[in-house]
Amino acid sequence: MKLLNKTIRSYLVYSSIILLITIPLFYVVVRHVLLHAVDHSLKSQMREIRNNLSSIHSKQELEIWAGLDKDISLYTEPGPASDSIYTRYVTNPRHHRDEDPYREIAGTISVNGQSYKLVISSSLVENEDLLGSIMIVQAILLILLMTGILWINRRTSKKIWMPFYSLLNEMQHYDLNKNNELTLKSSRISEFNELNQVIKNLLNRNYEIYLQQKEFTENASHEMQTPLAIIQGQLELLMQTVPLTEDQAVLISELEASIQRLIRLNKSLLLLTRIENNEYAPAATADIEEILVAQLDSFHDYLEKRKIRRVEKFEARPVAQCNIALMEILISNLVSNAIRHNITGGTLLVETGPGFVTISNTGIDKPLDAQKVFNRFYKESSDTASIGLGLAIVKRICDMYKFQLSYVFDAHMHFFTVRF
Amino acid sequence: MKILIIEDQKELLKSMVGYLESENYLCETAEDFQTARQKIEGFDYDCILLDVTLPGGNGLTLLHELKKDKKADGVIIISAKDSISDRIQGLNLGADDYLVKPFHLSELNARISAVIRRRYFDGQNLLTFNELVIDLLAKTVFVNGKPVDLTRKEYELLLYLASNKNKVVSKMAIAEHLSGDGAEIFDNFDFIYTHMKNLKKKLSLGGYRDNIRSLYAIGYKFEV
């Protein structure tokens, strides 16, 4: 749930409850007050009539007086001992369905010793209309008030939280590799300013650590080159010594193999750091097929020796915008990977199509862990010549140029596809 | 042949000197920028091995000065930097070759011989080992005057061994040399055996006695 919705939701629930309770309550109260006023008026009318009865002296006079006011009815039978007030519904002759409510007071008056029942009625239709109008105005006012409050609340919340959202947005687009400076809006709210500052400091610290680590890898790899060169040189001198026994020869050969492995590992690490440092910036148009064929040819000896069938399906001539040397490394790594993990008498299939190249090979007959296959130092086989950085380098190059790299195992073949 | 090795790492310097002196080169050394500059100004060398990062200055400055003075010394840059821009910069300044550390001494030796040959044997690039003659320009091989039909790889293999004659050359160094710069190397050297077998067969068919000795586990030695 969004932050703004969350705060407003409580307001909304509260407002609705208040609205639902107040409108009927208001209705009941106003109706009661109005009725009370009518009753009061009826009672005082009755009192007035009784007080003025002394001026009426005959039955005729009484009937004439009663006939003057259509709200007053006079009956010759005696009325209730004490005044009673009630509501009566009378069918409206004009609207057959409607029953108009009337409030009536019935009491007993005596003229010349004769008791009469006197009923004074007052129409409640106007009151009902008034009540209806009051209720509508009331409801409109309440709804306006609530929506206004909600709207103002939402607007202020949005304004208040704006630094937060801009910070969120900046963070989402932050790339440690580029360390693009965050452009954070300063706010009048000190907490947000503090948050901005804290995040800036955190990112700067992280970036420094990241730089230090990168620098460390680079320096370590560089520093290792000289001792490695020395060891290799000394080994070659050792090979020239006479006499050289067979045991010594085996030892030297094994040493050299290890040194070579270390040298390759070191070179790969250097390459990775250089890619991460964007040292291969200038992009050009790389002809994938041309690079692919050149790389396959350079592996000709290995393919032949291991009787690996080379199958080419070139259907389009894809090009990619990238550094040519990096594309060569990418293709070379994929091809050498497909040869290294192949089986004797297996197949190496290369395919190109519009905007993609696929390099696939036979090998172990089960899928590799697609999550880990591009990780550094991930190894499926025990091939000692494999240092486990080839595919990591491929991945890094693809990431750099936003190429899509995917791995699929299908029909006993491992497929590695790069989409440009 | 006189070689100046400019390198600040003593042990590396020592192993280079050791290998090259046994090839009958006269080696002089410089371990810092100033010494190197004095030696370059004072003497002529057939080949200068130049490290780029030196105490007291950049090796490329020396190369620049050398070319400005129109000196004809061959220069091979030896650098820990192997990015393409570094290579191009070095070669544009007039270096004859660029070798990335760490390297095989046999590779260094082969490159030095190539540089020196290019400078001194214009037009008649012939290497003669008794009845075996290698024509470097035409890239052909003759045994007793008759041409031997070698593949490109077999020719390169023979030339590499010949450049390091009487030296043990490891399989690794051969594999790296034949695969070219930056090529992926597998731990499988079977293809070298095949090339070697074919090379030996072709040479002996022409009547050349087998001078390429195989050393158990390590590599090969071309004996003259």
Burial of B77 (0-12, 13-18, 19+ CB in 10 A): buried
pLDDT for the residue B121: 62
State whether B216 and A246 contact (CB < 8 Å).
Answer: yes
Instruction: Please indicate if any CB of chain A lies within 8 Å of the CB of B179.
Output: yes
Q: Measured between beta carbons, which residues in chain A are less than 8 angstroms from residue B215?
A: 244, 249
Global pTM reads: 0.67
CA distance A185 to chain B (A): 42
pLDDT for the residue B79: 86
List the end-to-end C-alpha distance of chain B, in Å, as a whole number: 19
In the predicted model, is pLDDT for residue B75 greater than 90?
Answer: yes
As given in the structure block, the two tokens for residue A48 are: 């007035």
Sign of the torsion angle spanned by Cα atoms A293, A294, A296, A297: positive
| CB of A184 closer than 8 Å to CB of A167 | yes
Spatial neighbors of A411 by CB under 8 A, at least 6 apart, are none
pLDDT for the residue B31: 93
State whether B104 and A232 contact (CB < 8 Å).
Answer: yes
Whether residue A116 is contained in a domain is answered as: yes
Which residue is closest to B179 within chain A, CA to CA?
A298
Instruction: Please indicate if any CB of chain A lies within 8 Å of the CB of B191.
Output: yes
Which residue is closest to A386 within chain B, CA to CA?
B186
- Quick one: A318 and A337 in the same domain? yes
Q: Phi/psi zone of residue B166: left (φ > 0), alpha (ψ -120 to 50 degrees), beta?
A: left
The reply to whether omega before A93 is within 30° of 0 (cis) is: no
In the predicted model, is pLDDT for residue B70 greater than 70?
Answer: yes
Question: Judged by CB atoms within 8 Å, which residues 275-294 of A form the interface with B?
Answer: 279
As given in the structure block, the two tokens for residue B216 are: 């158990």
Q: Measured between beta carbons, which residues in chain A are less than 8 angstroms from residue B173?
A: 236
Long-range contacts at A203-206 (CB < 8 A, ≥ 24 apart): A203/A174, A203/A179, A206/A176
Collapse the DSSP code of B151 into the 3-class scheme (helix H, G, I; strand E, B; otherwise coil) and give the result: coil
Chain Cα centroid distance, residue A177: 25
Whether residue A122 is contained in a domain is answered as: yes
Whether residue A185 is contained in a domain is answered as: no
In the predicted model, is pLDDT for residue B181 greater than 60?
Answer: no
- The vertex-A176 CA angle with A171 and A180, nearest 5°, equals 65
A144-185 confidence digits (pLDDT tens):
988 888 888 888 888 888 888 888 888 888 877 776 677 777
In the predicted model, is pLDDT for residue B123 greater than 80?
Answer: no
Q: Which one of B16, B22, B80 has the shortest CB-CB distance to A226?
A: B80
Collapse the DSSP code of A177 into the 3-class scheme (helix H, G, I; strand E, B; otherwise coil) and give the result: coil
Instruction: Please indicate if any CB of chain A lies within 8 Å of the CB of B11.
Output: yes
Q: Phi/psi zone of residue A181: left (φ > 0), alpha (ψ -120 to 50 degrees), beta?
A: beta
User: What DSSP state is assigned to residue B28?
Assistant: E
pLDDT for the residue B184: 60
The reply to whether omega before A78 is within 30° of 0 (cis) is: no
Collapse the DSSP code of B10 into the 3-class scheme (helix H, G, I; strand E, B; otherwise coil) and give the result: helix
Whether residue A351 is contained in a domain is answered as: yes
Task: Identify the domain boundary among A259, A276, A293.
Answer: A276
- Quick one: A289 and A387 in the same domain? yes
State the amino acid at position B5 in one-letter form: I
Instruction: Please indicate if any CB of chain B lies within 8 Å of the CB of A236.
Output: yes
Instruction: Please indicate if any CB of chain B lies within 8 Å of the CB of A332.
Output: yes
- Residue A317 and residue A319: Cα distance in Å, rounded? 7
- Quick one: A17 and A121 in the same domain? yes
- Residue A28 and residue A35: Cα distance in Å, rounded? 11
Q: How far is CA B207 from CA A226, A294, B224, in A?
A: 45, 36, 16
Residue B167 CB neighbours (<10 A): 21
- Residue B175 and residue B194: Cα distance in Å, rounded? 12
Tens of each residue's pLDDT in chain A, 420 residues: 677 777 778 878 888 888 888 888 988 998 899 899 999 999 998 888 888 877 877 878 888 888 888 888 888 887 787 888 888 888 777 766 678 888 899 888 888 778 888 888 888 888 888 888 888 888 898 889 888 888 888 888 888 888 888 888 888 888 777 766 777 777 788 888 888 889 889 888 988 898 888 888 888 888 888 889 899 999 999 999 888 888 898 899 889 888 888 888 888 888 888 888 777 777 888 898 999 998 888 888 788 888 899 999 988 888 888 888 889 889 989 998 898 888 889 999 999 988 899 999 998 888 888 888 888 887 766 555 667 888 889 998 998 888 999 999 988 899 999 998
State the amino acid at position A212 in one-letter form: Q
Protein fold of B126-222? Arc Repressor Mutant, subunit A (1.10.10)
Q: How many domains does chain A have?
A: 3
As given in the structure block, the two tokens for residue A17 are: 């409850």
Whether residue A12 is contained in a domain is answered as: yes
- Quick one: A94 and A124 in the same domain? yes
Mean of the pLDDT values across residues B81-108? 86
Task: Identify the domain boundary among A276, A308, A330.
Answer: A276
pLDDT for the residue A95: 66
Whether residue A167 is contained in a domain is answered as: no
Q: Measured between beta carbons, which residues in chain B are less than 8 angstroms from residue A305?
A: 188, 190-191, 194
| CB of A118 closer than 8 Å to CB of A46 | yes
- Quick one: A354 and A227 in the same domain? no
To which residue do tokens 């409801």 refer?
A: A139
Give A279-317 as a DSSP string. TT---EEEEHHHHHHHHHHHTHHHHHHTT-EEEEEE-S-
Q: Which residues pair with B127 in a beta bridge?
A: B134
CATH of residue A324:
3.30.565.10
- Quick one: A15 and A90 in the same domain? yes
| CB of A359 closer than 8 Å to CB of A350 | yes
CATH of residue A101:
3.30.450
Beta-strand relationship, B47-51 and B2-6: parallel
Spatial neighbors of B43 by CB under 8 A, at least 6 apart, are B2, B4, B28
- Quick one: A255 and A297 in the same domain? no
CA distance A307 to chain B (A): 12
Instruction: Please indicate if any CB of chain B lies within 8 Å of the CB of A256.
Output: yes
- Quick one: A267 and A288 in the same domain? no
Mean of the pLDDT values across residues B14-23? 91
Burial code (b: 16+ CB inside 10 Å, e: under 16) for A116-135 equals: bbbbbbbebeebeeebeeeb
How many residues are listed for chain B in this entry?
224
As given in the structure block, the two tokens for residue A340 are: 């290294």
To which residue do tokens 């095989």 refer?
A: B104
In the predicted model, is pLDDT for residue B34 greater than 90?
Answer: yes
Q: Measured between beta carbons, which residues in chain B are less than 8 angstroms from residue A390?
A: 184
CA distance B218 to chain A (A): 5
Mean of the pLDDT values across residues B107-122? 84
- Residue B71 and residue B59: Cα distance in Å, rounded? 16
Nearest to A375 by CA among A388, A362, A384: A388
Task: Identify the domain boundary among A230, A254, A276.
Answer: A276
Spatial neighbors of A95 by CB under 8 A, at least 6 apart, are none
State the amino acid at position A307 in one-letter form: K
- Quick one: A133 and A14 in the same domain? yes
Q: Measured between beta carbons, which residues in chain B are less than 8 angstroms from residue A333?
A: 184
As given in the structure block, the two tokens for residue B203 are: 């040479």
Collapse the DSSP code of A85 into the 3-class scheme (helix H, G, I; strand E, B; otherwise coil) and give the result: strand
pLDDT for the residue B105: 92
The percentage of chain B sitting over the pLDDT mark of 90, rounded to a whole number, equals: 36
Mean pLDDT of all residues belonging to chain B? 87
Q: What top-level class would CATH report for the domain B2-120?
A: alpha beta
pLDDT for the residue B13: 92
The percentage of chain B sitting over the pLDDT mark of 70, rounded to a whole number, equals: 94
Whether residue A197 is contained in a domain is answered as: yes
Collapse the DSSP code of B147 into the 3-class scheme (helix H, G, I; strand E, B; otherwise coil) and give the result: strand
CA distance A247 to chain B (A): 9
- Quick one: A271 and A292 in the same domain? no
Spatial neighbors of A149 by CB under 8 A, at least 6 apart, are A11, A15
Higher pLDDT, A379 or B22: B22
Q: How far is CA A240 from CA A71, A217, A244, in A?
A: 139, 35, 8
State whether B188 and A240 contact (CB < 8 Å).
Answer: no
- The vertex-B91 CA angle with B89 and B96, nearest 5°, equals 155
As given in the structure block, the two tokens for residue B34 are: 């100033």
Instruction: Please indicate if any CB of chain B lies within 8 Å of the CB of A354.
Output: no
The domain of A241 spans 190-276
Q: Measured between beta carbons, which residues in chain B are less than 8 angstroms from residue A226?
A: 9, 12, 80, 101-102
- Domain borders along chain B are 2-120, 126-222
- Quick one: A34 and A142 in the same domain? yes
How many residues are listed for chain A in this entry?
420
Collapse the DSSP code of A39 into the 3-class scheme (helix H, G, I; strand E, B; otherwise coil) and give the result: helix
Q: Measured between beta carbons, which residues in chain A are less than 8 angstroms from residue B51?
A: none
- Quick one: A19 and A122 in the same domain? yes
- Residue A420 and residue A321: Cα distance in Å, rounded? 8
B182-201 confidence digits (pLDDT tens):
556 566 677 788 889 999 99
Collapse the DSSP code of B110 into the 3-class scheme (helix H, G, I; strand E, B; otherwise coil) and give the result: helix
Q: Which one of B11, B103, B218 has the shortest CB-CB distance to A239?
A: B218
